[in-house]
Chains A and B, each alone.
Chain A
Amino acid sequence: MRLITCHGGKIHTTSADAMRAGRAGVFSFGLTALDRLMPTGLARGSVHEILAAEGSGMTFAVVLAKAATSGGEDGGRGDFKFEISDLGFEIKNQKSKIKNPLPLVWCDPHLTLYPPALAAMGIDLGRVLMVRPGNEADHVWAVAECLRCRGGGATVAGVGTLSRIGARKLQLAAEAGGGVGVLMRPAEMAGENAAATRWLVAPAPSTGGGQRWRVELVHGHGGCVGQPVFLEVRRETGVVRAAPPVVDRPVPQEARA
């Protein structure tokens, strides 16, 4: 379904997905290739889980958290600018467009997060709070407390093993707070979960340019499960975009000869 409007002498079409994404309680990536996997949008007030293979996960967590925290009323779309390039759609940070950026809490018990890299990805450090709990019990408590906060921002945390009750508790805390929880777990620890969506992220070989990750939706109602998308970060610009998958192209006969 498409909504066609006319104002300013131009005809605008809005897809059903975009209309749904503009609804309160849902946000979208603003990156077409990823939004296609979750056409109904990602729910606020819930936990989204990233199953990360070794050497991946944080960048995707930033993409997710940035989408969740950039501007409340326009469904998270104000942050990104669409640019058609030869390889597809690009997202670019446009600071001037951010309206009321929501706070972002990063629970980091192992002191691994490097904020300058976060800033380079277009996150305003003024709204970032780093929480560094000293032990596992404090960490779980802090994550739940952050999720329960009604500030409506996003909470990113790496968690190891999580019992079913623990996962459910975090989901309930997120529902109480209305914010977005982004949990990063090692892929091999995929156990019980109560998350609204679940993403599998793994590094993918680059073709010499930007670094690539393979992102796949594993669980999510109304989502396209099992269709991998390749994300690429341009080394020169730091722009995240969707890249076509690497395929084995038949080598031309002349070259073989």
Chain B
Amino acid sequence: MLLPQWSIDRCRRKRGRKEEGTPLVVVESIAARQLVVAVDGAAAQGVRVGMTLAQARALCPAIEHAEHDPCGDARGLEGLGRWMIRFTPVVAAEFSGRAAGWLFLDVTGCERLYGGLRPLVEQVGEALARFRLGAARVALAPTAGAAWALAFAGGGAAWIVGDGEALSGVLAPLPVEALRIAPDQAGALRHLGVASVGQLLKLSRKSLHARFGAELLRRLDQALGRAPEPLVAIEPWAPVGATMEFEGVVAALEALWGVLRHLIGQLVADLARRGCGARRVDVEFRRPHAPAVRKSILLSRPSRDPENLFNLFRCALEEVQRAQEAKRQRTGRGRHRGRGVRVGASPADAIDTVLCPDGFTGVRVTVPVFERVSDEQIRLLDAAAHATAREFESLAERLRIRLGAAAVVRPELVESHVPERAWGAGEKLEDGGGRMESSEVGVQSSGEQSKIKNPKSKISSLPRPLHLLPVPTEIRVIVAPSEDREGRPVAVMHGGEVRPIAWAAGPERIAAQWWDARTRTRDYFAIEEAAGRRWWVFRVAETNRWYLHGVFE
């Protein structure tokens, strides 16, 4: 099965049906020049492979272009091959590196399941048409090389070759390019006047070997079945999962936890055999006469630690239980007022009665996404610190599952004079370990707020309160008389009474940021009332109003 325009087809599939009619080229950027790698639709206007994009635009103004992505193309081809495993277990995918790709399906012995070779080929063709791979050509032959040659030469139709004896007869009229040889070799052959395979077969093997090397003869022999061509088959994925069906309905929580532990043990054994760790785990509790309760857990790094996985499940199920409880409360208030739902019992009871009012009939745990995990090599003396860091990370993971990603924050200082902008939520917790060390080195980012490389430098020399109000509240302050409305605070209204200020430090002026129209110039004072409480207040210079911003607790 040959896909001569695989890059184009893949781009089209990605872009959807809307741009069906527009001409498309795939371009590759080489040293500031964009060279066309594959052409579709615009070929009629004279756009050829190897042109620059500017030339192509000049010929065909309406042209669309996409960046060449050989790795993505190869992956996509492998995905298509994986889909084709339904026809035969041996599927090999090869991508040329430019635009074309091909799949070999070894259907030996599989035709009986489809009622013969012809229906099988028809089904493959239908599948390709369904995937809108119209340019694909399918050919069937006793050898992989002959199939490729037929697909290359035959214009889109399914060709079927009967037996091996007639093979050289069928291949003889085909052009030499059909032998999967390098373009320069084919060009050299054509230069010598050798245009078809038949002409090539008449030449002596010795002279061909001397002139063109072993590659050409190998391809020729492979096409004719004289030399073997091993196919590297795509390895099928087997899903990782474990299921336990109960004989009856089970409602006891201890039993369920036990089952979950057992299933996780199975998963971990499977993952360890593959050398992988889970990135996403789905759990499904099957219930009688009700849809199953499903929950999926995303992990920030691949893990196959049974204790960690079990703890994550525990958190996730508490979350499910709370959601169900809320739902039940809502419906309970409406309809079953007298049913007496027990709310506010201990968590274990609540799971018993709310999550599984009738018990479960089965538990299924699957790992749809897993990744290779490598055991980290750590120094012996750092083992304790490493274990601490790992525990801490799994804690953050558990917290995020229940509270949401936004509720778990790693603070980081930001270079800004405006107090509330002097820190921000740091790096996302998703990326893996080594955070204890890496957190000290910020990344210089452009714009208003840039993180600071040296943590010592941006700690303000003036004291800041530990307790900063999320929103400053307006307060009334009595100010010492002065001519320019900028007197120092003398007394403050707090709790409905006037409190004299025993000590005040300031003002610390924080000017408005000229690029931000919302901030105003503030004069900060640290004030202490008679009992010793200290507040951080500021006066907005423009409006002369006072606000409480923090408490030195």
Q: List 6 A-B contacts (CB under 8 A).
A: A114-B419, A115-B412, A116-B464, A120-B464, A133-B407, A203-B534
Q: What mask results when residues 52 to 80 of chain A are scored 1 for a CB within 8 Å of chain B, else 0?
A: 10111111001000000000100000000
Docked Cα-Cα span, A202 to B427, in Å, equals 37
Chain A residues at the B interface, C-beta cutoff of 8 Å: 52, 54-59, 62, 72, 100-103, 105, 110-121, 124-134, 137-138, 141-142, 145-146, 149-153, 202-206, 208, 211-213, 233, 235, 238
Docked Cα-Cα span, A113 to B420, in Å, equals 11
If A57-B553, A126-B436 touch, whether A149 touches B466 (CB-CB below 8 Å) is no
Q: What mask results when residues 385 to 397 of chain B are scored 1 for a CB within 8 Å of chain A, else 0?
A: 1001101101110
Contact in complex: B463, A238 (CB < 8 Å): yes
Q: Count B interface residues, CB 8 Å.
A: 59
Q: Which of B177-185, B189-197, B354-362, B525-533 contacts A (4 or more CB under 8 A)?
A: B525-533
- Chain B residues with CB under 8 A of A55: 532-535, 551-553
Contact in complex: B465, A149 (CB < 8 Å): no
Does B19 count as interface, using CB distance less than 8 angstroms? no
Does B123 count as interface, using CB distance less than 8 angstroms? no
Residue of B396, B403, B413, B505 contacting most chain A CB atoms (<10 Å): B403
Closest A residue by C-beta to B429 = A129
Contact in complex: B395, A235 (CB < 8 Å): no
Kindly provide the distance from the CB of A112 to the nearest chain B CB, expressed in whole angstroms.
5
- Chain B residues with CB under 8 A of A151: 388-389, 391-392, 395
- Chain B residues with CB under 8 A of A233: 463
If A58-B466, A206-B528 touch, whether A115 touches B403 (CB-CB below 8 Å) is no
Contact in complex: A72, B460 (CB < 8 Å): no
- Chain A residues with CB under 8 A of B440: 124, 126
Taking A112-B469, A131-B403, A138-B403 as known contacts, 10 extra A-B pairs with beta carbons closer than 8 A to each other, sorted by chain A number, are: A55-B553, A115-B411, A115-B413, A116-B419, A118-B411, A118-B466, A119-B459, A134-B407, A145-B398, A151-B388
Contact in complex: A58, B553 (CB < 8 Å): yes
Contact in complex: A59, B553 (CB < 8 Å): yes
Kindly provide the distance from the CB of A124 to the nearest chain B CB, expressed in whole angstroms.
8
Contact in complex: A145, B395 (CB < 8 Å): yes
- Chain A residues with CB under 8 A of B550: 114
Does B503 count as interface, using CB distance less than 8 angstroms? yes
Closest B residue by C-beta to A55 = B533
- Chain B residues with CB under 8 A of A141: 318, 402
Closest A residue by C-beta to B467 = A112
Task: Please pick, from B402, B459, B502, the residue contacting A116 in the complex, using a CB distance under 8 A.
Answer: B459
Kindly provide the distance from the CB of A229 to the nearest chain B CB, expressed in whole angstroms.
15
- Chain B residues with CB under 8 A of A153: 388, 392
Kindly provide the distance from the CB of A96 to the nearest chain B CB, expressed in whole angstroms.
12
Contact in complex: B388, A103 (CB < 8 Å): yes
Closest A residue by C-beta to B400 = A131
Does B422 count as interface, using CB distance less than 8 angstroms? yes
Task: Please pick, from B315, B435, B460, the residue contacting A126 in the complex, using a CB distance under 8 A.
Answer: B435
Chain B 145-175 residues near chain A, CB threshold 8 A: none
Contact in complex: A119, B436 (CB < 8 Å): no
If A204-B532, A206-B532 touch, whether A127 touches B399 (CB-CB below 8 Å) is no
Contact in complex: B403, A142 (CB < 8 Å): yes
Docked Cα-Cα span, A232 to B153, in Å, equals 90
If A114-B423, A134-B407, A205-B530 touch, whether A119 touches B413 (CB-CB below 8 Å) is yes
Docked Cα-Cα span, A133 to B384, in Å, equals 29
Does B410 count as interface, using CB distance less than 8 angstroms? yes
